[in-house]
Structure 1
Amino acid sequence: MRLRLSFIAVLLCLVAPVARADEGNSLAVTDPGVLRALETRGFGLAQLLDPARTTPIPNDALFALPAMTQIRAALDDAFARYLADHQKHQPRVRIGVGPGHDVQLFDQAMLTSPDARFVLAGIVNRMDRAYVAPDTCGEIRLIYRLTRTAAGITPPRLPMTLNLVLRAKDPHDASVTCADLAGRWLDSASFSETGAARADRLLKPDGPLATITAAQIDRIETNLQIAHRPKSDTQEFRTDYLQKVFRFDATAKQFRAAPMENQIDRDRLLADAALGHAFRDWLLAPNNLRAFDRGTVLIPEKFLATSSLSSTPVGFAPSALQPEFGLIDSEGKGVFSERDVVNALERAISQGGALENIRSPAGFARRLNDITCGGCHQIRGIGGFHFPGADTLAEQSQGTVPTSPHFIGDQPRRRDIVMAIRDGKAPDFSRGFSDRPQMRGNNELAGSPLLDGWGATCYRPKQKGVADKSFASWTCAEGLACQQVGADASSAIGMCFVK
C-alpha cells in the first residue's frame, strides 16, 4: 500500500502541468484572483443564501440560517452514527480530534466556528448534465472550501467542500436559450483579462455568469473527510469521506436531505430480497441497461441511499470499501449473478446493437461502482475530492492543483457536449468509465497520464484466455507496460509504467 501511495503522489506531480494548462478552460473558473473578485460580486455564500448580509458569512451564522438548520442536524447525526459504528467494531482503537488518536476525526466545531467559513474555490460548468433536466440546460456548480480565517492558524484550508448546485438556466427565463448560454461559456476561453478584470468580463450582460441568481439554486452537496487513519504498525493509511445531498424546498425555504443520484444502497439491497430483485429487474431491462452503459441512467430513488461513506485509497482489487462489492455473486448471494448479467447484455444487444462500454460481467461491476457518488470519488481523485479548489486566500500560489486527474480527463467530453448545445446539435451525453477518459478525447490526451501515459489506468490480460472486452482497449503508450500495483497479483487492472 505504501508503494502504491508513492506512485500516486508522483503521478499527481506529473499531471500537474496538464492541470495548469487546463485552468484556462472556458468550462471552469479556477484562477484565485478571479474567484476572489467574484466572491465579492454576488457569488459568495452570503449573497446567495443571506442576501441581506454584506460581508462574508462565518460558519456560526451560516448554519444558524433557517435554510441551513437541517443540514447541520443531518451532519451531526452522521458523525454520531460514524462514532457509534467505530465503537461497535473497533472499541480498542482510539478515535478523536487531533494527532493523539489512531483515527483522527474531522473537528465538528469548525462547522459552528466564527473563525471559519466556506470560501469560493471554483465555478464549474456542468451543461453536460442537461440530460437530467433539459429545460434548465444542465447545471452550474459553485464550489466552496472550508477555510479557517483566524490569523496564524495552519493549515488554513480544511478537508471539506460545499457545492452549491444551480440550474444553468431559469426555465422561466426566455431571454437566454441553452445555445446562447453554451456560446457564452465557450467564448470566455478567448478572454485576455486576468484577476478582477476577468471577473468583470464574466459578469457583463453577455458574459456566462450574468444570468445566475439565487433563484436557480437546486441543492447543496457536502463532501468532508470525516476521519483520517495515519499509517502505523497496526493499520494501513486510509481516509473516509462523508458525502450528502440536500435539495432546496422552495415552499419551506429549507435544504432537506435527499437521496443521492445513483448512490445505490448496497446494505438495503442485500438485506431486502424483494427490493434487490426489483432493482435487478429494473436495471437489467434493455433500455435501462443501455442508459447504464452510457453513464446517463437515473436510478429510481427507492433503491438509493441518502449518504455515502467513501474510503480512499482502495486499490484495484475488489473490496468491501467499494459501493458495488457483494452485489454480483455467482453463488446467488448477491443481487445479480454473472449469468443474469450475460443474459441481459445479450438481450440488450439483440434489441439495439452493441453497447459502448459494458461488454462483460466485470465491466458491469465496474460501472455499478463508478456510477455511484462514492465509487466515482474513489477513482483518480485527489484524496476523496475531484475539485479541491483554488486557495484564494493565499498570498501567493501554493503550487497545488485545483482539480483531479478525473476532472481534467473529462474536459474534452464536456466541451464536446457544450459545443453541440451551442450549435443546436443533439449532444452525445455518454461517458466512459471513470478510470479512463472516453475515446472522443483520445487525440488530445494521448500519451498523457490521463489516458495511456505513465501512471494511467490499464488492463492486464491473463496470459491464457480471452481478453475482457470491456477493458481490452485500456492499453499503454509505446515504451510502457501495464503493471501490477499493490499486493493483488490477480487484479486485471494496473497502471502504465516503464517496461
Structure 2
Amino acid sequence: MRRRSRLFALLLCLAPLAARAEGQLAVTDATALHALETSRFGLAQMLAPQMAAPIANDALFALPGMVPVRGALDDAFTRYLADHRNRAPGESIGIGAGHDVLLFDRALLTSPEVRFVLAGIVNRMDRAYVAPETCGEIRLIYRLTRTDAGNVPPRLPMTLNLVLHAKLPDERVTCADLAARWLAASGFMETGAALADRLMASDGPLAKIDAAQIDRIETNLQIAHRPKSEVAEFRTDYLQKVFRREASTQMFREVPMENQIDRERLLADAALGREFRDWLLAPANLRAFDRGTVLFPEKFLATTSLAATPVGFAPSALQPAFGLMVDGKGKGVFTESDVVAALAQAAKGGALENIRSPAGFARRLSDITCGGCHQIRGIGGFHFTGVDSLAAQAVQGAVPASPHFVGDQPRRRAIVISMRDGKTPDFSRGFSDRPQMRGSSELAGNSVNDGWGATCYRRDAKGRLDASFASWTCAEGLSCQPVGDDAASRIGMCFVK
C-alpha cells in the first residue's frame, strides 16, 4: 500500500467520526457559527470593533496590531523560497499550473476578496496546567475563505486561531463554573441561531468571552504543495507560527512556539545540545515529558514550524526531532544509554505512563512539538479544519476535525469534569497516535484507537513488543501491518488479516 493509499484509508476512517465531534467540547454547527460570527465573534468584533464587520484581509492586515503578523509571514515565504531552491535547484516552484511545486499565493493574504470566517470554537480547558489562574483556553478558529469565489472552491488552506484565556485571573467566575457551563452545553439539542443564542445566554459558556481575554494568534498555512509525479512523491508543507499580544501596545509579536524544538540549533551548537539534554533528562522534567505536560525553556525553541505531510512512520528528516538521538556516526544529542539511565532514575518518583524505552522517548520528542503533532493523524496538516459556515447548505456528515482531535475528546472531557467537581485534574496525555487508555471503553474498535486504520505497533522477529507501545494493538480480526515505504518501521496500521 502506497502512502497516498494510507491517506485514502485515513479519509475512510474519518466518516464514522463526524457525529462524535458534535456533542463534545466544541461548537461545530455551521449555522450556529454563522450566527455567532455575525453577532459577537467575528474577527472584526474581536480585533477591531471600531470597524464595520465582517473585515476583509486587506483591512485586517492593515490594523496596527496585525502589521507584525503580515511581516513575519512575508519573511517566512522568502526564507521558504530560498531554502527550497537551495535544496532542489532543478525544481520549479511557483503559483499555478506548470510548476513542480505549487506555492500558496501570498497576495491572497491581503486581498479584499478574502477573509477569515469563523469555522469552529473549541474548549481547551485541558490546557489549564500552563496557567491555572486562567482555567485554560478557548479557541476561536477561523478559516481563510474567498468571498468572490465563483466556481473556485471558496475555502483556502489556512487557519487563524484566536486563542483566549478561558477567563481573566481577576474575574469572579470560577473554573468549576466555566466547566459546568461547557459540560451542560455539550448536551444542548438546539441547532442554528437557537443554539447560538443559548451559548451566549447569561448562563451559557460563551456569555463572558470578549476581546480582553485574547492571548495570542496561531497561524497554520499550507505554504506549498507538490503533486505526485513520475519522479517525486506527493508532499505538502505547512507553515505554523505564533504571535502573542502585548498588553501595553496591543501588537501581536512573533514568539517562540511552545515545545517546538529548534533541531538545527541543537545539532549545530554542541553546548546548547548538552544543556538541552541535561535539562530534559532531569527526573522532574522527564516525568513531565512522559505525561505530555512539559514546557521547554524558550532558549531551546524555534519561532517557525514547517510540518510536512505525509511523513510516514519510519524515522525521517521531515520529523521535527529527527537526528536528536545519536546515530551510528556519533551524531545527535541523546544516546540510548543516557535515556535508559534517565528513565530508570525518573521512574523512582513514580511509574512512567508512556515513555518506557528509547523508542518511546524518540517518538515523544517529535510528538510534543507543534509540527510533529500536526503531522500525526491530521487531515493534511490540520487537526481542526472546521465547517463552512458560509455555504448555502451545510454538508451533512462533513468531518470538521481529525482522528487525533476526536480521540482526545474523552481525555479533555475527563479533565473538565474534574474541574467542575473541584477535583485535581489529570492533565497527562498519551502519544498523538493513540488516545489514552482512559478513553478505551468509549473508543474501543474505533479507528482512532484499535479499529480498522488505527495506528499500531508490530512485534519484532522474536515476537517482542516495545514497552512504550505495548498497548498499541489491533481489535479482533485485524492485524498490525506495514504501510508503503515504511515496511522497516515497527509502527503500522490495523487492517484485516
Question: Taking structure 2 as the reference length, what is the TM-score of the superposition?
Answer: 0.98
Q: Equivalents in 2 of 1:353, 1:448: separation in Å?
A: 31
**Deviation at residue 41 of structure 1 after TM alignment:** 1.3
Tell me which residue corresponds to 1:71: 69
Structure-2 change in CA distance of 1:151 and 1:226 (3 Å): closer
Query: Structure 2 residue aligned with 1:196, among 193, 198, 214?
Result: 193
1:89 aligns with 2:113: no
Tell me which residue corresponds to 1:39: 37
**Deviation at residue 220 of structure 1 after TM alignment:** 0.1
**Deviation at residue 463 of structure 1 after TM alignment:** 2.0
Q: Is the 8 A contact 2:319 2:372 kept in 1?
A: yes
Secondary structure at the aligned position of 1:410 is classed as helix
Question: 5 Å matches for 1:155-304?
Answer: 155-174=153-172, 176-304=173-301
Return 5+ residue gaps in structure 1 as ranges: none
Q: Equivalents in 2 of 1:41, 1:261: separation in Å?
A: 32
Q: Is the 8 A contact 2:23 2:187 kept in 1?
A: no
Tell me which residue corresponds to 1:365: 362
**Deviation at residue 489 of structure 1 after TM alignment:** 2.2
**Deviation at residue 12 of structure 1 after TM alignment:** 2.1
Tell me which residue corresponds to 2:146: 148
Report the AA paired with residue 102 of structure 1. Answer: D
Tell me which residue corresponds to 1:496: 494
**Deviation at residue 6 of structure 1 after TM alignment:** 2.0
Report the AA paired with residue 198 of structure 1. Answer: L
Q: Equivalents in 2 of 1:94, 1:15: separation in Å?
A: 34
Return 5+ residue gaps in structure 2 as ranges: none
Tell me which residue corresponds to 2:407: 409
Q: Is the 8 A contact 2:266 2:272 kept in 1?
A: yes
Structure-2 change in CA distance of 1:151 and 1:482 (3 Å): closer
Tell me which residue corresponds to 1:18: 17
Tell me which residue corresponds to 1:348: 346
Q: Is the 8 A contact 1:381 1:404 kept in 2?
A: yes
Q: Runs (4+) of structure 1 moved beyond 6 Å? A: none
Tell me which residue corresponds to 2:479: 481
Q: Equivalents in 2 of 1:100, 1:396: separation in Å?
A: 34
Q: Is the 8 A contact 1:330 1:338 kept in 2?
A: no
1:8 aligns with 2:7: yes
**Deviation at residue 254 of structure 1 after TM alignment:** 0.2
**Deviation at residue 183 of structure 1 after TM alignment:** 0.2
Deviations 1:30-55 (CA, angstroms, capped at 9, x unpaired): 11011000001110000000011232
Report the AA paired with residue 17 of structure 2. Answer: V
**Deviation at residue 330 of structure 1 after TM alignment:** 4.4
Secondary structure at the aligned position of 2:69 is classed as helix
**Deviation at residue 151 of structure 1 after TM alignment:** 4.6
Give aligned pairs, total: 495
Q: Equivalents in 2 of 1:207, 1:263: separation in Å?
A: 35
Q: Equivalents in 1 of 2:33, 2:178: separation in Å?
A: 20
Q: Work out the percentage of aligned pairs sharing the same amino acid.
A: 73
Q: Equivalents in 1 of 2:10, 2:234: separation in Å?
A: 18
Secondary structure at the aligned position of 1:391 is classed as coil
Q: Is the 8 A contact 2:321 2:366 kept in 1?
A: yes
Q: Equivalents in 2 of 1:75, 1:11: separation in Å?
A: 31
**Deviation at residue 19 of structure 1 after TM alignment:** 2.3
**Deviation at residue 8 of structure 1 after TM alignment:** 2.6
Q: Equivalents in 1 of 2:472, 2:40: separation in Å?
A: 44
Q: Equivalents in 2 of 1:192, 1:490: separation in Å?
A: 48
Q: Is the 8 A contact 1:360 1:468 kept in 2?
A: yes
1:325 aligns with 2:322: yes
Q: Equivalents in 2 of 1:151, 1:261: separation in Å?
A: 35
Q: Equivalents in 1 of 2:223, 2:412: separation in Å?
A: 31
- Of the structure 1 ranges 157-166 and 192-201, higher mean CA displacement relative to structure 2 is found in 192-201
Q: Equivalents in 2 of 1:5, 1:89: separation in Å?
A: 24
1:382 aligns with 2:384: no
Q: Is the 8 A contact 2:225 2:236 kept in 1?
A: yes
Q: Equivalents in 1 of 2:346, 2:465: separation in Å?
A: 21
Q: Is the 8 A contact 2:93 2:103 kept in 1?
A: yes
Secondary structure at the aligned position of 2:74 is classed as helix
Q: Equivalents in 2 of 1:488, 1:62: separation in Å?
A: 44
When the two chains are superposed, the root-mean-square deviation of aligned CA atoms in Å is 1.1
Tell me which residue corresponds to 1:29: 27
**Deviation at residue 21 of structure 1 after TM alignment:** 3.2
Secondary structure at the aligned position of 1:247 is classed as strand
Q: Is the 8 A contact 1:219 1:245 kept in 2?
A: yes
Q: Is the 8 A contact 2:121 2:138 kept in 1?
A: yes
Q: Equivalents in 2 of 1:11, 1:270: separation in Å?
A: 34
Deviations 1:69-125 (CA, angstroms, capped at 9, x unpaired): 000000000000000111212121111011221100001011110000000000000
Q: Is the 8 A contact 1:260 1:373 kept in 2?
A: yes
Secondary structure at the aligned position of 1:487 is classed as helix
- Of the structure 1 ranges 148-157 and 229-238, higher mean CA displacement relative to structure 2 is found in 148-157
Secondary structure at the aligned position of 2:412 is classed as helix
